[in-house]
Amino acid sequence: MKNLIKTFFVNTFLAYIVSCGEDKAKNRIEDINIDCSTTETPFNIKNLAMYTSWEDVTDNLGLYGITAETGSFGDFNDDGFSDLFIAPSKKYPEIYINTCGTGFIPINLKERTKISENLDYETFKNAATYIADLDNDGSLDVLFGMSGLRHGVRILYGERGLKFTEKVLPMEATSSQIGSVGTIDLDRNEYLDLYIARSPNLQGDIKNENLFFINQGDRNFVDVTSRMPDTLRYAGSFITFTYAFIGWQILNGIPEYKPRLYIGNDFDPDFLFSHKGGFSFDQIESNTIRELTSTMGLDYSYVGDDVVMALTQTFQTAMIRIEPNGVVDISNRLKAPTGHVGWDIRFGNFDNGLDESLIIANAYLVDDSNNPEFGLKDTLFYIQNNHGWFRNKSDTAGSLFDSTDIANRYLLPYGDFNNDGNLDLLVTSYDIQNPEKEISHEPLYDTTTRLLMNKGNSNNWIGFKFKNSKYLGSLLRLRSGDREAIKEIKMFTGLGANNYGFAHLGLGQKSAIDKLELFMRNGKIKDLTRNIEINHYNWLE
């Protein structure tokens, strides 16, 4: 049956042009056509239960046997539905076009791309991806890092008709590991700048280094790493996995754009810097920061006026409150499991409540059945937020959250592939080879990439979609009755993956909005209260 479905998608749909939704696509796929104006997705039935659960729909949607460590959500063909950028290890990345929430069609990205240099991609590992409009031309671009490759960061610039031009990011030759790739706002202009976390190479001649690039437009990036303070440039001595560019501080209820850069390190303490603009960063030190080591993934949310950050670390998940002069440990609020090795972690309105909850990915790094630290079998955790206090609700979240199968879950980018307002998960896995079967390259654990569909509940929500990168770093503030919710459209957070052009807020059981404002990093404030539809995606032009 799976082969019949696959044949149907590939042979039937590859002959047409995608045209999903009521709005006409700006950039058409020239050889695919699906009219979605009358399509009713089979996944929009609302679950009236108040809890949140996910269903594995990987095989049903044409995502057959994909093994990838990294992938991201983005609408590449402007039809209003999120597509998938998948970067498998030792292969050139691919795009899977969303057929209006009913399935995905693979696109051979290499055939559609002007390649900068021919490489043996089986030698290298795709380590991180990031989707954004880097050249402000209205088409999505992709930044991806390849560990073990000299000049290992590439940009795929999107063009009309789903064509791409590949360019190598101009950087010092390196064969080291790429931790995270993403955007940052250095010079406060309309273009997104870049941050690259690079780890040492095996030869020892490349140090752990945080790299920075100014975007000058016209697809021109300039390496400005040497102009950064050494405390930032060499923050950490071994591996930098992840970072967050936190845009806003809420002071007496008033949002102010005062960015801070948090860098998570393995084996070393984490770092926190305040950004004064341009190349000026001041390090913020505290005892709590120095106690935070072996950070794999992190994400942050706003709880009242506070910025709260959750961090996955070796054998624990920590939570801190970021204050103007340091951080405070509030891990007692987080009823997260211990004794596991966490990778990615994400805040989101997964239950469409006003408070953002957490998803955590668990990993097995060694095959040691005698080590009790690795006795935990669940691979995903759902931690529900109740006014800043958290509780583990994995037992109601679905089969993959209560799985007894040993797996090594890695990244957790989320989106809404069927536009029903419920946040779906793309779950990748870290590919660890079995040393006893090294010749056959058989993985030690389940490495299949999974798409989990959120079955929803009776809560209300409001969503936004956009193409223009000027909205990255903006802050949404919503007021309804006696409750307030704050959501930042983040530059980057997490670990090696993102979703672009998408913002989502839960409303709980509230059915009306009293006030909705958008604070932009250029200082402008937009009142979005009028003409906003609840339980619907609204476009930001």
- Which among 505, 462, 471 has a CA at the least distance from the CA of 491? 471
Dihedral pair phi/psi, residue 74, rounded to 5°: -170, 150
pLDDT exceeds 50 at position 531: yes
- Which among 305, 249, 304 has a CA at the least distance from the CA of 272? 249
pLDDT exceeds 80 at position 16: no
Residues 6+ apart with CB under 8 A from 72: 84, 85, 129, 130, 131, 142, 413, 426, 497, 498, 499, 500
Q: Which of 254-263, 431-440, 503-512 has the lowest mean pLDDT?
A: 431-440
Please tell me the predicted confidence (pLDDT) of residue 195.
92
User: How far is residue 70's CA from residue 491's CA, in Å, rounded to a whole number?
Assistant: 18
- In this structure, the number of other CB atoms found within 10 A of the CB of residue 122 comes to 9
Q: pLDDT tens, 344-388?
A: 999 999 999 999 999 998 865 555 555 545 544 567 889 999 888
Tokens of 49: 């239960």
pLDDT exceeds 80 at position 34: no
Residue 430 pLDDT grade (very low, low, confident, very high; cuts 50, 70, 90): confident
Please tell me the predicted confidence (pLDDT) of residue 64.
78
Residue burial 165-198, b: 16+ Cβ < 10 Å; e: rest? ebbebebeebbbbbbbbbbbbbeeeebbbbbbbb
Single-letter residue type at 4: L
Residue 520 pLDDT grade (very low, low, confident, very high; cuts 50, 70, 90): very high
pLDDT exceeds 80 at position 494: no
* In contact, 42 and 102? CB cutoff 8 Å: yes
Single-letter residue type at 248: W
CA 517 to each of CA 159, 301, 358: distance values in angstroms, whole numbers, following the listed order: 33, 17, 25
Question: Assign residue 515 a region: left if phi > 0, alpha if psi is -120 to 50, beta otherwise?
Answer: beta
- Which among 308, 344, 346 has a CA at the least distance from the CA of 327? 308
Residue 45 pLDDT grade (very low, low, confident, very high; cuts 50, 70, 90): very low
SS3 labels along 475-497: EEEEEECCEEEEEECCCCCCCCC
Q: Where do the domains of the chain lie?
A: 2-540
* In contact, 302 and 324? CB cutoff 8 Å: no
Q: pLDDT tens, 392-405?
A: 898 889 988 876 56
pLDDT exceeds 90 at position 463: yes
* DSSP class of 499: B
Please tell me the predicted confidence (pLDDT) of residue 172.
64
Q: pLDDT tens, 229-259?
A: 999 998 877 778 889 999 999 988 899 999 9
CA 487 to each of CA 146, 484, 519: distance values in angstroms, whole numbers, following the listed order: 31, 10, 10
Architecture of domain 2-540: 7 Propeller (2.130)
202-224: average pLDDT: 83
* DSSP class of 405: S
Terminal-to-terminal C-alpha distance of the chain: 43
* Positive/negative CA dihedral, 52, 309, 182, 345: negative
Element counts in the chain: helices (H) and strands (E): 3, 38
415-437: average pLDDT: 80
pLDDT exceeds 50 at position 79: yes
Residue 13 pLDDT grade (very low, low, confident, very high; cuts 50, 70, 90): very low
Q: pLDDT tens, 467-479?
A: 999 999 999 999 9
Please tell me the predicted confidence (pLDDT) of residue 33.
53
523-535: average pLDDT: 93
Percent of the chain with pLDDT over 70: 79
Please tell me the predicted confidence (pLDDT) of residue 22.
36
pLDDT exceeds 80 at position 6: no
Listing DSSP states for 39-94 in one string gives ---TT-PPP--SS--EEE-TGGGT--S---SEEEEE-TTSSSS-EEEEE-TTS--E
Residue 142 pLDDT grade (very low, low, confident, very high; cuts 50, 70, 90): very high
pLDDT exceeds 60 at position 17: no
Please tell me the predicted confidence (pLDDT) of residue 504.
96
Please tell me the predicted confidence (pLDDT) of residue 440.
44
- Which among 22, 107, 37, 112 has a CA at the least distance from the CA of 537? 22
Please tell me the predicted confidence (pLDDT) of residue 46.
45
CA 338 to chain centroid, in Å, comes to: 24
Residue 263 pLDDT grade (very low, low, confident, very high; cuts 50, 70, 90): very high
pLDDT exceeds 60 at position 2: no
Residue-averaged pLDDT of the chain: 82
pTM of the model: 0.88
Please tell me the predicted confidence (pLDDT) of residue 448.
84
Residue 126 pLDDT grade (very low, low, confident, very high; cuts 50, 70, 90): confident
- Which among 538, 540, 536 has a CA at the least distance from the CA of 420? 536
Please tell me the predicted confidence (pLDDT) of residue 18.
34
User: How far is residue 422's CA from residue 54's CA, in Å, rounded to a whole number?
Assistant: 10
pLDDT exceeds 90 at position 438: no
Dihedral pair phi/psi, residue 78, rounded to 5°: 55, 40
Tokens of 458: 């009776």
Which has the higher per-residue pLDDT, 286 or 400?
286
Percent of the chain with pLDDT over 90: 51
Of 179-183, 412-416, 480-484, 491-495, highest mean pLDDT:
412-416
Please tell me the predicted confidence (pLDDT) of residue 371.
53
pLDDT exceeds 80 at position 90: no
Q: Which of 26-30, 253-257, 440-444 has the lowest mean pLDDT?
A: 26-30
Dihedral pair phi/psi, residue 61, rounded to 5°: -105, 10
Alpha carbons within 13 angstroms on the beta-carbon side of residue 498 total 28
Q: Which strand ranges, in their side-by-side order, compose the sheet holding 221-223?
A: 178-184, 193-198, 209-215, 221-223
Please tell me the predicted confidence (pLDDT) of residue 47.
44
* DSSP class of 366: S
pLDDT exceeds 80 at position 445: no
pLDDT exceeds 80 at position 7: no
525-537: average pLDDT: 93
User: How far is residue 176's CA from residue 390's CA, in Å, rounded to a whole number?
Assistant: 38
Residue where the block lists tokens 């002007």: 114
